């Protein structure tokens, strides 16, 4: 397996010959660039920490793709929530309920910073068109924490104020 070492190590894999290694990299949350062989179609399930090229590849195009992967997997990478409610982070994904998605939008709008409980109450209230209790927020936070275990994210409690979404250590 050839590698390029810069900010974040990007693995280059021949597709589809090294598909097994791709599965291992995805499980580990490691970025890779698939080099398509011949007229092979790219995989339909490309994650945010993957990309593909077909040789021959222009040197500048290759550098741009590697740079993009490094940005997506670096310490400044922000999780992404797609319109269907799937959260992506670190090569992993997890489906979110409607309430979890609404709360996650609050956390993603200011990733790594405090989100006040009142902001979360308002977000949940928009879905249900009713006033939301503190107990309801607590219940949704508990469920959201369970979901986030699958994508290496953590909700840290800031007592009396709210929560911070951050990368799990």
**pLDDT 10s digits, 72-125:** 776 667 788 888 898 888 767 899 999 999 999 999 988 889 999 999 999 999
| Greater model confidence, 62 or 69 | 62
The Cα–Cα gap between 156 and 25 comes to 28
Q: 144 Cβ partners below 8 Å, 6+ apart?
A: 96, 100, 103, 104, 155
Per-residue pLDDT, 104: 95
3-state secondary structure of 113: coil
Q: Using a cut of 0.75, tell me whether the model's pTM lies above it.
A: no
| Greater model confidence, 22 or 75 | 22
The Cα–Cα gap between 103 and 99 comes to 6
Q: Among 4-13, 30-39, 86-95, 106-115, name the one with the lowest average pLDDT.
A: 4-13
Q: 148 Cβ partners below 8 Å, 6+ apart?
A: 87, 94, 154, 155, 165, 168
The Cα–Cα gap between 72 and 115 comes to 23
Nearest to 51 by CA among 79, 22, 76, 27: 22
């Amino acid at each position: 397996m050839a590698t390029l070492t810069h900010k974040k190590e990007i693995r280059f894999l021949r597709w589809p010959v090294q598909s097994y290694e791709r599965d291992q990299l995805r499980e580990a949350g490691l970025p890779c660039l698939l080099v398509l062989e011949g007229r092979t179609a790219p995989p339909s399930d490309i994650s945010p920490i993957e990309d593909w090229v077909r040789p021959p590849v222009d040197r500048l195009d290759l550098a741009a793709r590697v740079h993009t992967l490094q940005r997506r997997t670096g310490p400044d990478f922000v999780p992404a929530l797609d319109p269907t409610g799937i959260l992506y982070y670190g090569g992993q994904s997890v489906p979110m309920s409607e309430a979890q998605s609404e709360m996650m939008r609050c956390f993603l709008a200011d990733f790594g910073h405090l989100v006040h409980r009142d902001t979360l109450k308002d977000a949940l209230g928009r879905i249900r068109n009713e006033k939301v209790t503190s107990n309801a927020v607590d219940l949704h936070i508990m469920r959201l924490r369970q979901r986030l275990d699958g994508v290496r994210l953590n909700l840290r409690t800031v007592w009396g104020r709210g929560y911070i979404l951050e990368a799990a250590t």
